[in-house]
Amino acid sequence: MTLKTGRARGAEGRLLPAWWLAFALASSTGFAQTDPGVRGGAINGQTGATPTSPLPLNSVTSNTPAGVQEFFQDGLDRFQEVEAVSGSAHNGLGPRFNLDSCAGCHAQPTIGGSSLPTNPQFTVISRHVVNGSTNTIPSFITANGPTREARFPFVFNSNGTVNTSVPNGGVEDLFTVGGRPDAGVCALQQPGFAAAQQANNIIFRIPTPLFGAGLLENLDDSTLLSNHANQVGNGLGISGTFNHNGNDGTIARFGWKAQNKSLAIFAGEAYNVEMGITNELFPQERPLPQEDNSGGLPNSCLNLGGGGYPEDATNFAVQNPSGDTFAQNAQIPSDTMQFSMFMRLLAPPIPSTTSPGGATAVQSGQNLFGQIGCGICHIPTLGMTQASNMTGSLGGAPVNAYSDLEIHHMGTALNDNVSQGNAGGDQFRTAPLWGLGQRVFFLHDGRTSNLLVAIQAHASNGSEATQVEQNFALLTPTQQQQVLDFLRSL
C-alpha cells in the first residue's frame, strides 16, 4: 500500500488523522514464525519410556493394588498383537479393515499415541497384510502422510452424484481380506475411493492419542459443567456445549466429536469398525454403510476365523498358566476389555519446561496462550478426577489435558459434514493438547504437520475460535514464536 502525503480522507470523506497513516505500513499478512517440529528428548517427557513401552500411571508402576501392573502389561501386549483372519492365535480380522493392529495406528511417539511419520498403511501390500491383486492403496494414503480412516459424508445416488439429503458419515474401511491365504474365498470390493475424491464426498480421520485417557474417563460431569459455566462472559465469541451419551444422557467425551462415553465402548467400536473384529460390545460383523442395501456381507465373508461370534470374547480358561497369578488373571478378560484397561492406565505426557526454545520462551508462550484466549477452550487443568475404585493414580488426580471436552462450532474450514451424537458436521471436541509437542500430524484429518496451519484453521465462517485466532495474529513475531515453542513443550 502507498503512503499518501497530506491529510487522507476515508471513503465517506472523513478526514483521517496523520497518525493513522503511520500504521499504513504496519499491517502484515501471513505468519513469519516457524513450528519447531516434533520435540526431541524423553518420549512423552517420561524417563524410561521407549517407542514400544509407554509408561503407566504411578500407582500402576508401584503395582497398587496388586495385579494392576500385570493387567497393564497384558493390555499393552495385546495392543501390539498383529491380527489375522484365521489359523493364528489372534483371529477375526476383516473382512474389511484399516490396519491389522492397534499399535500400528496408535504409535507416535510411543504405543498409545497417534500416527507415525511413516504410514504403515502404505506398505500393507508389500508386507503381505493385503493382497495386491484384490486391493489397491488409495491415493490419500501416502508413504509419509498420516495413518487415516475415510468416510463419505453423504450417500451416492446410483448415477454417481452425491445425495446431500441423505447423510452417511460411517467409516469406509480401506482394505479387504480378499486374496489373503487365510481368508478362504471371501471376495469383496474396496469402497469407491477415487470416485468419492472426484466428487469431493470424502473426509478423513487420524487416530486420537490415548495417553491420560483414564483421567479423562474419571472426571465427574459436574466438573465439566462447572468449567462450562466459567466460560460464560468470555467476550471472545466462544460458547460450546456437550455431546451426550444416548443411553443415559451423561456427558460423552472420547473421539474427535466426543461421541464415545467410555473407554470400553471406544475400544469395542474401534476393534470392530477399524479391524473388523467383533466383540462383546459390538457382536455383529459390520458391512459398509451402504452395503446393507445390497444384502449385507456375503456368507463367504462371515465367520472367517471359524470360531463363531463374537470373535473376541472373555476367556473362561487361562491359556498360559505359567507366571504369577495376576498375569494369569489378566488373560481372562476379552481383548476389548484389556485394550480399555491399557488405555485407562496410561500415564499422561509430561510437558517440558525448557524445550523447545528455552525456559523463558516456554513460560512466555504459556502466558500468551492464556492471555489471548486459547485457554478458554484448551483449559490447562480441567479439575480433579473423582475417587477411583481401580488404582490410586486415577483418583483425586489433576487432569492437565488442555481441553474442556466440549464440542464447539469450528466453521467451514474444519467442517466435515459428519454428525456424531449431538455433534453436527462443524462441531468438534476441543482436542486435548497434552502430548502435542511430539505429535506429527494435526487436526482431525491430519491435513498438516505445521502448527501454524493448524492455528490458522481455527478461523473461518461459523467458527467460535475466530476472535482468538485473530488475537494470535495481533501478536508480534517474537510472541507468536513463543506460543509455538510453548505448544511444542506440551
Partner 1 sequence: MWSPATPVSILLGLVASLAIAAPAPAPVAKLPTDVIIVKGAWSSASDSTMPLPEAGTVTPESYDNRYFGLSLPLPDGWVQKYAGPPPSDSGYYVLAQLSPTETSPGASRGTVLISAQDLFFTPIRASSPLELVNYTRAHLRTDYQIEKPPADVMVGGRKFVRFEYLSPAAGLHWWILATQIRCHVVEFVFTSANTRVLEMLERDLDSMKGSQSDDDAPVCIKDYANTTNVVERVDPLFTEPRYNPVPVRIIIDREGKVKHIHFLSAFPTQAQAITEAVSQWRFKPYVRNGRPMEVETGILFGRGQRAGL
Stretch that binds partner 1, among 41-49, 271-279, 288-296, 416-424 (CB under 8 A): 416-424
Verify binding: residue 317, partner 1, rule CB under 8 A: no
Q: What whole-number distance in Å separates Cα of residue 92 and Cα of residue 334?
A: 13
Applying CB under 8 A, among 125, 194, 318, 475 the residue interacting with partner 1 is 475
* 483 neighbors 456 (Cβ within 8 angstroms): no
* 34 neighbors 484 (Cβ within 8 angstroms): yes
Verify binding: residue 241, partner 1, rule CB under 8 A: yes
Verify binding: residue 479, partner 1, rule CB under 8 A: yes
Least distance between partner 1 and beta carbon 405 (Å)? 15
* 265 neighbors 246 (Cβ within 8 angstroms): no
Nearest to 381 by CA among 223, 264, 236: 223
Site size with partner 1, rule: CB under 8 A: 85
Sites for partner 1 among residues 1-40 (CB under 8 A) = 1, 4, 8, 10-12, 14, 16, 19-21, 23-24, 26-27, 29
* 236 neighbors 376 (Cβ within 8 angstroms): yes
Q: Give the residue with the Cβ less far from partner 1, 4 or 128.
A: 4
Cβ contacts of residue 288 below 8 Å, gap of 6+?
96, 170, 172, 173, 191
Q: What whole-number distance in Å separates Cα of residue 243 and Cα of residue 220?
A: 15
Verify binding: residue 200, partner 1, rule CB under 8 A: yes
Sites for partner 1 among residues 154-183 (CB under 8 A) = 154, 157, 159-165, 167, 169
* 149 neighbors 114 (Cβ within 8 angstroms): no
Q: Is the dihedral of CA 365, 366, 368, 374 positive or negative?
A: positive
List % helix, strand, coil for the chain (3-state, nearest 5).
30, 10, 60
Residue 60's Cβ-count burial label (10 Å; 0-12, 13-18, 19+) is: buried
Q: How many residues does the chain have?
A: 490
Applying CB under 8 A, among 104, 146, 178, 240 the residue interacting with partner 1 is 240
Applying CB under 8 A, among 89, 185, 317, 474 the residue interacting with partner 1 is 474
Stretch that binds partner 1, among 47-55, 87-95, 105-113, 410-418 (CB under 8 A): 410-418
Verify binding: residue 370, partner 1, rule CB under 8 A: yes
Q: What whole-number distance in Å separates Cα of residue 176 and Cα of residue 123?
A: 15
DSSP 196: H
Sites for partner 1 among residues 350-369 (CB under 8 A) = 364, 367-368
Cβ contacts of residue 84 below 8 Å, gap of 6+?
90, 91, 93, 100, 182
Q: Give the residue with the Cβ less far from partner 1, 52 or 164.
A: 164
Sites for partner 1 among residues 210-229 (CB under 8 A) = 225-226, 228-229
Verify binding: residue 230, partner 1, rule CB under 8 A: yes
Verify binding: residue 425, partner 1, rule CB under 8 A: yes
Verify binding: residue 448, partner 1, rule CB under 8 A: no
Q: Give the residue with the Cβ less far from partner 1, 8 or 384.
A: 8
Least distance between partner 1 and beta carbon 35 (Å)? 20
Verify binding: residue 422, partner 1, rule CB under 8 A: yes
Least distance between partner 1 and beta carbon 239 (Å)? 3
Applying CB under 8 A, among 86, 400, 415, 430 the residue interacting with partner 1 is 415
Stretch that binds partner 1, among 113-121, 172-180, 316-324, 461-469 (CB under 8 A): 461-469
Verify binding: residue 467, partner 1, rule CB under 8 A: yes
Residue 143's Cβ-count burial label (10 Å; 0-12, 13-18, 19+) is: exposed
Stretch that binds partner 1, among 234-242, 281-289, 392-400, 434-442 (CB under 8 A): 234-242
